[in-house]
Chains A and B, each alone.
Chain A
Amino acid sequence: MDRVILEKTDERGSSLWQDAWVKLRKNRLALWGLAVLVILCVVSLLTPWIAPYGYEEQDLILGATPPSAEHWLGTDIFGRDMLTRIMYGGRVSLTVGFIATGVALIIGVLWGAIAGFAGGRVDAVMMRIVDILYALPFMIFIVLLMVVFGRNIFLLFFAIGAVEWLTMARIVRGQVMALRKQEFVEAAYSLGLSQWIIIRRHIIPNTLGPVIVYTTLTIPSVMLLEAFLSFLGLGIQPPQSSWGLLISYGVETMEEFPWLLIFPGLTLSLTLFALNFLGDGLRDALDPRTSKD
C-alpha cells in the first residue's frame, strides 16, 4: 500500500516539468521570448569569433558616424563599431543578469522558505536580519566589498546578487506562510516526510509563480544597476562595455548622435520583453494550482 502511493507521487512530481513544457509550447509569446533569449545568448557566446571588429579598435579620425554599410549600427565618438560593442556588451550584461539573479534567487528562496516554514522565533530572527540588511545603504555595502576584495567583475556579480535577494526572501516567506497551513502540507506531514523534503517538494514548487515573475523583473534591474556602478567606477571599466554603460554614454550625446542611444536601448528593451513574456509563460506553465485539467 505504502509503495503504491509513493510511486504515484513520484510519477506526478516528474511530470510537472513535462506538463509545463507542453503548456509552454502552446504559448506563442513565451516561445518567441525563449527564442530571442537563446539567440542573444548564442550570439554573446560566439561574439569573439563572429564580431566584425575588435571592441576596443578605435579610429579617432572617423569619429561618430551614423549606420552605414561598413558599420551597420554606426560608430561611437572613438570610431568604434557599435554592433561589435553591443555584442560584447551583451556578454557582460547577460552574465551579470543571470549570475546576479541566480545568486539572489538561491539565497532568497532558501532564506524565505526556511523562515516562513519554521515560523516563530527562527522566522523573527531571520526576517530581522533581512530588515537590517535592507536598512544598510546599498552603496556603502558595495563600496566596502570592493575595498576589501578589490575590483573584480565576478565579485560585482556576487555583490549585486547579495543585495537583490532581500525582496525575494520576503515574497517567498509570505507565500510559504500561506502554504504551510494547507491540507496537502498536513498530508505530507502525516505521511512522515521530513521537513526538508516538504520544503523542497511541496513548498518551493508552489511558490514558483511569484518567484519567476520577480526574477524576470530582477534581471533588468540588475543590468541597470551594473551600469550605475560602472559609471561610478566600481563596475567594469573602459574599454569593456555593457548595455547599461552604452546607454548611459548614449544619453550624453543623444541629441548629436542618437544611434548611440537607440541601438543599445533597443537591444536592452528586446531582452526585457523577451524575459517578461517568457516569465509570464513559465509562471502559467509551472503553477501547480492551475495544472489540474
Chain B
Amino acid sequence: MDYHSMSGQQSTAKSLPARTFHALCLAALLLVVSGCGGGESNVSLGNRTGTLHWGNGTEPQSLDPHIATGVPEHHIITSLMEGLVLKDSTTLAPIPGVAESWDVSDDGRVYTFHLRQNARWSNGDPHIAQDYVWSWWRALQPALGNLYAYMYYSINNAQEYYEGTITDFDQVGVKALDDYTLQVTLENPTPYFLQLLDHYSLFPVHQATVEKFGTADERGTRWTYEGNIVTNGPFQLLEWQINSRVVVERNPFYWDAENVGLNKIIFYPTENAVSEERMFRSGQLHYTNDVPTDKIPVYRNEGNPSLRVAPYLGSYFYRINTNVPHLQDKRVRRALAMAIDREQITEHILQAGQMPTYALTPPGTMGYYPKSDLTFDPEAAKQLLAEAGYPNGEGFPVTEILYNTNESHRKVAVAIQQMWNKYLNIEIKLLNQEWKVYLDSESAGQYTISRASWIGDYVDPNSFLDLFLCNGGNNRTGWCNAEYDRLILDVAPKMKSHEERLAVFQEAETLLLDAMPMIPIYIYTSKHLMNSSVKNHNGNLLDQTTFKELTLESDSSDSTGGNH
C-alpha cells in the first residue's frame, strides 16, 4: 500500500503488519464509504480555491535544475522556473518565455535574445542576462555532477570547457551584451536549439541564493529547500514535505502573473498507481501520473472521459551494465534482446496501445525511422548465447534486473524474467528500489541490468541518440564508441539538409543496436486520469504540461465518471 507514510518512524514492529492487515480488510469498505463521503473532497475544494491536486509519480530527486534528470522533477521545476523560450502546449513550437524576442544570424549560429525588462525573480530581484551566463557556467562545472551537461554541447566550446581542454569560460559561446541582451554562439547551426532552452538543464538559477547555501558547484545544498529557493517561473515553492507533498503558489513577480490561472498546485508523490487511481476516484486528485494497467480496459469499456491515453515520445528499454564480466560480450547482450517477446508484453500486460520497439528512437520522430535488424527470435538467441560460451544457458551467472518500485515495471520485469528463463534457460533475479536510490545505483554503475526509459526532451532524434555518448551523464552503461560519438557530435550537426542528418543518425543508431548496450522494449503511450474541471490542458507528444495555462472550473466538480 502507500508505504511512504509507513517507513521510518514506526516504533513497534507489531503495528506495521497490523496496519497492513487492517488496510486489507478495510479497503473494500473504504471504497464504498468514499463514494458517499461527507466532507468536501480535495477536488471540489480545489476548484473553488484554484488549487490543483497533481499526482506526480514520485518524490523528486532534487529541485535543482542542474542536478535533476527525471520526469517527476520536470513537472515541479517547470512550474517554478522558466527558460528563455517556452513551447506551445499543443504544437510544441518555440514561443517567447523570459526572452520576448530573438534574432538568428544568417548562418544560424548566433542567437541574440532580448530579455523581458519586467521579468523578476520571486524575491523581486531583477532578472538579467548575466544570470544566464552565471547559471550556464555553473551547469558546466564538472564538480556539480550535472548528468545533462551534454545538453550544452551545441554551444560553441561548451564541450571543451566541460571536458577541461579550455579553462577560460569567456571562450564559451554565451555572452551578456547588456542587462537584457544575451548572445549565444553555437558550434553548428542546431535545428533544435530553441527547444533545448525550454529544458530545465538550461534554466537559470538565482546566484545569490545558490551562493548563500554553499559554493556554486556543490551538490545537494539547502538552496532548493522550502523558504530558501528563489525562482523565476509562474509559481514559487511554498512547502516541501518529504514523501508527502510539494506545494507551489502563484509568484507575484512573474512577468505574466495576471495570466496565471491557478493559485496553488500540490504535487503528490503517488508512487503506487493503484492507490493513486483510488485517490482519483475519491476526488483527492485532479490528475494522475499513471493509470494501473489492469484498470485501462475497465475505463475503456465504460467510455469514461477521464481516461486520457495519447502517443508519447518515450522509449522503454533495459540498460545493460557493459562492465559486468558476463555482459561484456555483445553476443550475450543481443541474445538477451532477441529473447523478449515484446508483442506479448504490450498486448497482454500493458494494454494501453504501447508499441513494441526494436530500436531506441521512437519511429517517426521528425520523420526519422531507425533501421533495426533486431527481431524476436528465441532460436537465434539461443544460438548466440551458445557461441558466447553458454550453451543452453549453462554456466550463465544469475543476473539481476533492477527496477524502481512501480507495479507496471514489476510486471514487465516478471514477464521478461520468465521469457529469458524459458528461451535461454538462465536464472534472473529481480530487485526493486525507490526512485532516488534507483537513480543513484544506476548512475554509479551498481547494477547488472536495469529498467530504464527515456522521454524526449525535445522533438528530435538527437534527444535520444545523445544519451549513449561516451561521457554522457545519462549513458550509465559503460558502453563507449568513438565512431558513434563522432557521428552524433561532429558529423550530424554539420549536415546541410534534414535528410542527410537523419541518414547520419540512422548510421549511428545501427552502431548502437549492433553493440546493444540497451535492450529496446516498447514505445510509451502517456496515460492519465484527469478530472473534467481541469481546463486548457493540451496533450502533446512530450506529455509536458504548461501549468500557467491551466484553469479550474468549479461547476463541473466531482464528475470523475462512473463508479465501478
Whether chains A and B associate is yes
Q: With A139-B8, A251-B24, A252-B274 known to touch, is A237 a contact of B17 (CB < 8 Å)?
A: no
Most buried by B among A58, A61, A220, A265: A58
By size class, the interface of chain B is: 35 or more
Q: What is the total number of residues of chain A having a CB less than 8 Å from a CB of chain B?
A: 44
By the criterion CB–CB under 8 Å, are A255 and B348 in contact? no
By the criterion CB–CB under 8 Å, are B11 and A137 in contact? yes
Cβ of A52 under 8 Å from chain B: no
Most buried by A among B12, B20, B295: B20
Min CB gap A43→B, angstroms? 24
By the criterion CB–CB under 8 Å, are B294 and A256 in contact? yes
* Residues of chain A lying within 8 A (CB to CB) of residue B7: 139, 232
Cβ of B410 under 8 Å from chain A: yes
Closest to B431 in A: A233
By the criterion CB–CB under 8 Å, are B16 and A228 in contact? yes
Q: How far is the CA of A223 from the CA of B21 in the complex (A)?
A: 10
Name B432's contact: one of A222, A227, A233, A247 (CB within 8 Å).
A233
By the criterion CB–CB under 8 Å, are A61 and B8 in contact? no
Q: How far is the CA of A254 from the CA of B297 in the complex (A)?
A: 14
Name A61's contact: one of B12, B274, B344, B411 (CB within 8 Å).
B344
Closest to B10 in A: A138
Q: With A63-B348, A231-B3, A239-B414 known to touch, is A247 a contact of B24 (CB < 8 Å)?
A: yes
The A-contacting residues of B in range 60-80, CB under 8 angstroms, are none
Q: How far is the CA of A34 from the CA of B35 in the complex (A)?
A: 43
By the criterion CB–CB under 8 Å, are A254 and B27 in contact? yes
Min CB gap A63→B, angstroms? 6
Contact with B along A210-252 (1 / 0, CB 8 A): 0000000000111111011001110001110000000110011
The A-contacting residues of B in range 1-56, CB under 8 angstroms, are 1, 3, 6-14, 16-18, 20-21, 24, 27-28
Cβ of B421 under 8 Å from chain A: yes
Cβ of B418 under 8 Å from chain A: yes
Cβ of A18 under 8 Å from chain B: no
Q: How far is the CA of A61 from the CA of B17 in the complex (A)?
A: 35
Cβ of A134 under 8 Å from chain B: yes
* Residues of chain A lying within 8 A (CB to CB) of residue B322: none
Most buried by B among A57, A134, A225: A225
By the criterion CB–CB under 8 Å, are A164 and B13 in contact? yes
By the criterion CB–CB under 8 Å, are B411 and A77 in contact? yes
Q: How far is the CA of A233 from the CA of B3 in the complex (A)?
A: 12
Name B295's contact: one of A60, A167, A223, A256 (CB within 8 Å).
A256
Q: How far is the CA of A256 from the CA of B293 in the complex (A)?
A: 11
Closest to B403 in A: A233
Closest to A227 in B: B20
By the criterion CB–CB under 8 Å, are A138 and B433 in contact? no
By the criterion CB–CB under 8 Å, are B8 and A222 in contact? no
Name B407's contact: one of A58, A151, A252, A254 (CB within 8 Å).
A252
By the criterion CB–CB under 8 Å, are B274 and A221 in contact? no
Min CB gap A53→B, angstroms? 13
Q: With A238-B413, A254-B27 known to touch, is A222 a contact of B344 (CB < 8 Å)?
A: no
By the criterion CB–CB under 8 Å, are A237 and B431 in contact? yes
Contact with B along A28-62 (1 / 0, CB 8 A): 00000000000000000000000000001110110
Min CB gap A244→B, angstroms? 8
Name A58's contact: one of B410, B418, B564 (CB within 8 Å).
B418
Q: How far is the CA of A63 from the CA of B344 in the complex (A)?
A: 10
Cβ of A163 under 8 Å from chain B: yes
By the criterion CB–CB under 8 Å, are A256 and B298 in contact? yes
Q: How far is the CA of A220 from the CA of B25 in the complex (A)?
A: 14
* Residues of chain A lying within 8 A (CB to CB) of residue B405: 232-233
Cβ of A140 under 8 Å from chain B: yes
Cβ of A4 under 8 Å from chain B: no
Cβ of B430 under 8 Å from chain A: yes
Contact with B along A252-285 (1 / 0, CB 8 A): 1111110000000100000000000000000000
By the criterion CB–CB under 8 Å, are A232 and B415 in contact? no
Min CB gap A216→B, angstroms? 14
* Residues of chain B lying within 8 A (CB to CB) of residue A158: none
* Residues of chain B lying within 8 A (CB to CB) of residue A222: 17
Q: How far is the CA of A167 from the CA of B294 in the complex (A)?
A: 41
* Residues of chain A lying within 8 A (CB to CB) of residue B3: 228, 231-232
* Residues of chain A lying within 8 A (CB to CB) of residue B24: 247-248, 251, 265
Q: With A60-B348, A78-B418, A221-B17 known to touch, is A253 a contact of B294 (CB < 8 Å)?
A: yes
Name B16's contact: one of A77, A78, A225 (CB within 8 Å).
A225
Cβ of B270 under 8 Å from chain A: no
Min CB gap B530→A, angstroms? 21
Q: How far is the CA of A276 from the CA of B429 in the complex (A)?
A: 36
Q: How far is the CA of A144 from the CA of B141 in the complex (A)?
A: 35
Cβ of A135 under 8 Å from chain B: yes
Name A139's contact: one of B10, B28, B341 (CB within 8 Å).
B10
Cβ of B292 under 8 Å from chain A: yes
Q: With A137-B11, A252-B274 known to touch, is A238 a contact of B417 (CB < 8 Å)?
A: yes
Contact with A along B432-453 (1 / 0, CB 8 A): 1100000000000000000000
Closest to A247 in B: B24
Q: How far is the CA of A8 from the CA of B521 in the complex (A)?
A: 77
Min CB gap B12→A, angstroms? 7
By the criterion CB–CB under 8 Å, are B294 and A134 in contact? no
Q: How far is the CA of A256 from the CA of B18 in the complex (A)?
A: 26
Name A77's contact: one of B9, B21, B349 (CB within 8 Å).
B349
Min CB gap A57→B, angstroms? 8
* Residues of chain B lying within 8 A (CB to CB) of residue A61: 344, 348
Name A224's contact: one of B6, B21, B421 (CB within 8 Å).
B21
By the criterion CB–CB under 8 Å, are A252 and B431 in contact? no
Q: With A227-B20, A233-B431 known to touch, is A134 a contact of B12 (CB < 8 Å)?
A: yes
Contact with B along A66-77 (1 / 0, CB 8 A): 000000000001
Most buried by B among A166, A224, A232, A233: A233
A-B CB contact pairs (8 Å), 6 listed: A58-B418, A77-B411, A78-B415, A135-B11, A138-B12, A227-B17
Seed contacts A167-B12, A224-B17, A256-B294; 18 additional CB < 8 Å A-B pairs: A57-B418, A63-B348, A78-B349, A134-B12, A137-B8, A139-B7, A139-B8, A220-B21, A224-B18, A227-B17, A232-B7, A233-B432, A237-B429, A237-B432, A238-B410, A248-B1, A251-B24, A252-B407
Q: Please name the 8 residue pairs, one residue from A and one from B, whose CB atoms are nearest each other, closest first.
A: A224-B17, A233-B432, A60-B348, A252-B274, A60-B344, A163-B13, A138-B13, A221-B17
Interface residues of B (CB under 8 A from A): 1, 3, 6-14, 16-18, 20-21, 24, 27-28, 274, 292, 294-295, 297-298, 341, 344-345, 348-349, 405, 407, 410-411, 413-415, 417-418, 421, 429-433, 564
